[in-house]
Chain A
Amino acid sequence: NAGVTQTPKFRVLKTGQSMTLLCAQDMNHEYMYWYRQDPGMGLRLIHYSVGEGTTAKGEVPDGYNVSRLKKQNFLLGLESAAPSQTSVYFCASSPPAGRMHEQFFGPGTRLTVL
């Protein structure tokens, strides 16, 4: 199993550009998450999904959109990038409640917005 993979690993954008970050998991997990981590801080939840076709807002959703068209994929979109969105983005997945407690994280995507 590859676990949780993220594409791309690095990206530099100019202000106003758009991009999509792809997260894929091969563990058949129901739940998926997008977090961001700013320097010296803990992770903050952007959006999450409890199943295919469903998404919900997390702690810091503004400026981002997500889609979960397939169970194994969770996409994070930035429609008009801003320098404040410079961060490291982590995707995670987990089974639903009552089966396991662990979230599995991807390696991260380092995004710089100039």
Chain B
Amino acid sequence: DAKTTQPPSMDCAEGRAANLPCNHSTISGNEYVYWYRQIHSQGPQYIIHGLKNNETNEMASLIITEDRKSSTLILPHATLRDTAVYYCIVRPTYNNAGNMLTFGGGTRLMVKP
């Protein structure tokens, strides 16, 4: 699986947009970009995923560059409950390891009042 690079930490003011970057310069054509988050002491939670088009759901938007070498997760109106570690993961639709997810260090987002 391709590796990802994320900043270790970011701050965001409550009510403002949080933009979390991720570099995945060695991504392959069949690999999706996934975002999960982990609120303190809880299990990770799926947020969104995409292949090459921008995606939006009730939680966030995912912007993938045209060359697919980087992406940005956008939380449009961050709240204190969005404080968490955010993981960017790349993975094929199907791999030989049961669709395992490979978690890196993630970005620790702190939303401040």
Interface set of A (CB-CB < 8 Å, partner B): 4, 31, 33, 35, 41-45, 48-50, 56, 58-59, 90, 92, 94, 96-98, 101-108
Contact = CB atoms under 8 A, between A and B. Distances in A.
Interface of B: 32, 34, 36, 41-46, 49, 87, 93-94, 97-106
Nearest to B34: A101
Given A98-B93, A101-B49, A106-B43, A43 B105 contact: no
A42 B87 contact: yes
A101 B32 contact: yes
B97 A58 contact: yes
29 contacts: A4-B43, A31-B98, A31-B99, A33-B98, A33-B100, A41-B105, A42-B87, A42-B103, A43-B44, A44-B103, A45-B97, A45-B100, A56-B98, A58-B100, A59-B102, A90-B44, A92-B43, A94-B99, A97-B94, A101-B46, A101-B49, A102-B46, A103-B36, A103-B46, A105-B43, A105-B44, A107-B43, A108-B42, A108-B43
B57 to A, nearest CB: 11
A9 B81 CA distance: 23
A36 B87 CA distance: 16
